[in-house]
Amino acid sequence: MTADPQSGPLLSVRDLRTFFSDRQGVIARLLRRKSGEVRAVDGVSFDVVRGETLGLVGESGSGKSTLARTVMGLVPATGGSASLDGRELVGLRRREWRPLRRRIQMIFQDPASSLSPRFRVSFLLREPYVINKVPPDQQASVDELLDMVGLSAEQANKYPHELSGGQARRVSIARALALHPEVLFADEPTAGLDVSAAASILNLMRDLRDRLGLTYVLITHDLNVVGYFADRIAVMYVGQLVEIGLGDRILAHPRHPYTQALLACAPVPDPHLNEGHLDNVLGGEIPSPHDPPSGCRFHPRCKYADPRCTDEVPRLEDLGEGEMVACHHWRRLDLTPQPPVEATAAAAAVAQTTL
């Protein structure tokens, strides 16, 4: 999917940075003058066009959630910009954010804890309207919202702890979509769900995208998920994007060694197996964003690393058509996975469990 030349991207992120200071207290700060920083997001740029699904992948701790929370204005950006349809989002005050909340929404990583535990589903589903003072004629009823996400009307009386993970996820999606947003950040929508629940959530999300013309930023560490319905994929590593491009191309011909390593351990269609698996392939752990490696951040784990990689930071090279890669040597490497990635097999497994 390429950018519509007339309207420009719907969501545009430029050099976005989010640093957390890891201060302890007044005394500790006075004693140790050194200001500790966690560079959770460190200079990320990408565009998302209307109707597109961008998959954002990366290991745990690479800063995916922080990136989404920063764009949503939930954590303050340290620098850079993020704009929705030309409107700058970074640095907005709460009051200025209000009208934009209806255009951009997010569902959070943990389905169980993203619903307030003391309220029934019906209350939680009306909340978006109450908070945003939506006139009654523009509100969807609780039944309609439940129906939209494939839940029966009787779920309205349940409390969050009485819902299964998949049902809680659906309620979160209904809450986020109640305001008819254009952009939806979905943070690990399948996290904590078993394979069949995960598959039906993905199917629901795809349906909703097609029905409502939604634009997704789909965050996951599971390449099977993005392989299933992302148009483009952005790969994140220790706070930075290392590669971005069309989904099919990335899955078939990764350019960045890190993407290749991710793919090498992707074909396990069980999200729980994936994370441990990754370490076996890569060796070592993801470096801390508190103290990122010099040069290319991937060099300590990269089998193609040479002295240049330790010294010089690779630029994110723009190859046109929305394709970018940040590696000194990508032109010289042939990284096409040996057994071609079984994304299709994974997608088939997902499709089998469809409702």
Ligand X SMILES: Nc1ncnc2c1ncn2[C@@H]1O[C@H](COP(=O)(O)OP(=O)(O)OP(=O)(O)O)[C@@H](O)[C@H]1O
| Long-range CB contact pairs, 190-196, < 8 A, 24+ | 190/220, 190/222, 190/225, 190/271, 191/109, 191/110, 191/111, 191/271, 192/110, 192/111, 192/112, 192/165, 193/111, 193/165, 193/166, 193/169, 194/165, 195/269, 195/270, 195/271, 195/349, 195/353, 196/353
**Binding segment (CB under 5 A) for Mg ion, from list 14-22, 61-69, 194-202, 342-350:** 61-69
Which of ligand X, Mg ion, other proteins, none does 221 bind, CB closer than 5 to 8 A by kind? ligand X
Near other proteins in 140-169, by CB under 8 A: 159, 161-162
Site for other proteins contains 189 (CB under 8 A): no
Specify burial of residue 317 (Cβ count, 10 A radius: 0-12, 13-18, 19+). Answer: middle
Q: Which is nearer to ligand X, 66 or 105 (CB)?
A: 66
How many Å apart are CA 342 and CA 204, to the nearest integer? 23
Residue 116 contact among ligand X, Mg ion, other proteins, none, beta carbon within 5 to 8 Å by kind: other proteins
Q: Which does 34 bind (CB under 5 to 8 A by kind): Mg ion, ligand SF4, other proteins, none?
A: none
Distance from C-alpha of 301 to C-alpha of 60, rounded to nearest angstrom: 16
| H or E element that contains 349 | helix 343-352
Tokens matching residue 145: 């919202």
Contact between 45 and 241 (Cβ < 8 Å): yes
Residue 338, burial from CB neighbour count under 10 angstroms (0-12, 13-18, 19+): exposed
Cβ pair 55, 233 in contact under 8 A: yes
Between CA 174 and CA 146 the distance in angstroms is 7
Site for ligand SF4 in 288-327 (CB under 6 A): 296, 298-299, 302, 304-305, 309, 314, 327
CB 297 within 8 A of CB 243: no
The CB-of-172 to other proteins minimum distance in angstroms stands at 7
Nearer to ligand X, 150 or 289 (CB): 289
Q: Which is nearer to other proteins, 5 or 25 (CB)?
A: 25
Among 31, 74, 348, 351, binds other proteins (CB under 8 A): 74
Closest CA to 246 of 320, 322, 186: 322
Instruction: Find the binder of other proteins among 1, 61, 79, 97 (CB under 8 A).
Output: 97
Q: Establish if 341 lies at the interface with other proteins (CB under 8 A).
A: no
The window from 50-58, 62-70, 138-146, 242-250 that contacts Mg ion (CB under 5 A) reads: 62-70
Cβ nearer to ligand SF4, comparing 4 with 306: 306
Examine residue 65 and tell whether it contacts Mg ion (CB under 5 A): yes
The smaller minimum CB distance to ligand SF4, of residues 114 and 240, is found at 240
Binders of other proteins among residues 53 to 72 (CB under 8 A) are 69, 72
What DSSP string runs through 151-208? --GGGGG--GGGS-HHHHHHHHHHHHHTT--SEEEEESTTTT--HHHHHHHHHHHHHH
The contact set with ligand X (CB under 6 A) reads: 20, 38, 40, 58, 60-66, 109, 221, 289
Region from 95-103, 232-240, 270-278, 322-330 binding other proteins, contact rule CB under 8 A: 95-103
Stretch that binds other proteins, among 10-18, 128-136, 235-243, 315-323 (CB under 8 A): 128-136
The least distance separating other proteins from the CB of residue 138, rounded to whole angstroms, comes to 15
Which residues of this protein are in contact with other proteins, per CB under 8 A?
25-26, 69, 72, 74, 94, 97-98, 101, 105-106, 108-110, 113-119, 127-128, 131-132, 159, 161-162, 172, 175, 179
